[in-house]
């Protein structure tokens, strides 16, 4: 099954802190980026390498470097921006393809509103980032549009995944591996992940109703 729940102690600890309702926007933001980095480390562990020879301090040295056209990071706006820097900290040369998808909070349908993709997608690994995989509608729509644009190698990095969202991705895109800090229990009647994190976009951007 292409779902990887990364149960590393650093991730478990940070995610535990993020679940606290009263955590500040600043801390929630910082931990989103930190967990994104840790998920990136796992999601990139089989990237192909190629040999190179460089001039070292004592003469030529055989080294390895990542082969091919490399990576595009795909934040699903808006909340995915909260993980972007964490990925770029480890893969600074990655190009960014922004995708805007808004979940209709009544119908829970994913509504795409923006697509700014980089070129040569057929040669790149796409790392989609979004804190929440709930019904899976937003993730499936994003993978749909990436594949339509030529992308053949897609991975999804999410802080928290609901079983319903994992099932949706598996059904529509069984080739896509999902890396998550936690597979949570279920969705509530409003399509929110339980125990989840609440509204991740609002917590990252500071737009929680009670703060306005
Ligand atoms: O799996 P789904 O049921 O599609 O739900 C998950 C999506 O909902 C949230 O975004 P939202 O549309 O609330 O937008 P935001 O990023 O602006 O908060 C979240 O960041 C995911 O993109
Ligand atoms: O639990 C959820 C579900 C969708 N979007 C969120 O931000 N949180
Ligand atoms: Mg939101």
pTM of this structure: 0.96
> Class for domain 3-48+62-211, per CATH?
alpha beta
- How close is the Cα of 48 to the center of ligand 2, in Å? 34
Q: Is 201 in the pocket of ligand 2 (CB under 6 A)?
A: yes
- How close is the Cα of 68 to the center of ligand 1, in Å? 32
Q: What is the pLDDT of residues 107-153, one digit of tens each?
A: 999 999 999 999 999 999 999 999 999 999 999 999 999 999 999 99
DSSP string, 141-165: HHHHHHHHTT--EEEEEEEEE-HHH
Q: Which ipTM was obtained for this model?
A: 0.97
Q: What is the pLDDT of residues 46-103, one digit of tens each?
A: 999 999 999 999 999 999 999 877 899 999 999 999 999 999 999 999 999 999 999 9
Q: Is 200 in the pocket of ligand 2 (CB under 6 A)?
A: yes
110-116 vs 98-103, strand pairing mode: antiparallel
């Amino acid at each position: 099954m292409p779902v990887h729940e990364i149960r590393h102690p650093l991730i478990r600890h940070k995610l535990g802190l993020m679940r606290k309702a009263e955590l500040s926007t600043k801390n929630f933001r910082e931990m989103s980026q930190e967990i994104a980095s840790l998920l990136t480390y796992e999601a990139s562990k089989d990237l192909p390498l190629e040999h190179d020879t460089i001039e070292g301090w004592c003469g030529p040295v055989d080294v390895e470097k990542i082969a091919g056209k490399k990576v595009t990071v795909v934040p699903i706006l808006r909340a995915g921006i909260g993980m972007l820097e964490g990925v770029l900290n480890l893969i600074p040369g990655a190009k960014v393809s922004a995708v805007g998808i808004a979940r209709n909070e009544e119908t829970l349908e994913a509504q795409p509103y923006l697509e700014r993709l980089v070129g040569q997608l057929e040669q790149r690994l796409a790392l989609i980032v979004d804190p929440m995989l709930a019904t899976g509608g937003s993730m499936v729509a994003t993978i749909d549009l990436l594949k339509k644009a030529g992308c053949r190698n897609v991975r999804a990095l999410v802080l928290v995944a609901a079983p319903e969202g994992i099932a949706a991705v598996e059904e529509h895109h069984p080739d896509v591996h999902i890396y998550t800090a936690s597979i949570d229990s279920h969705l509530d009647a409003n399509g929110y992940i339980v125990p989840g994190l609440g509204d991740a976009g609002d917590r990252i951007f500071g737009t929680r109703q009670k703060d306005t």
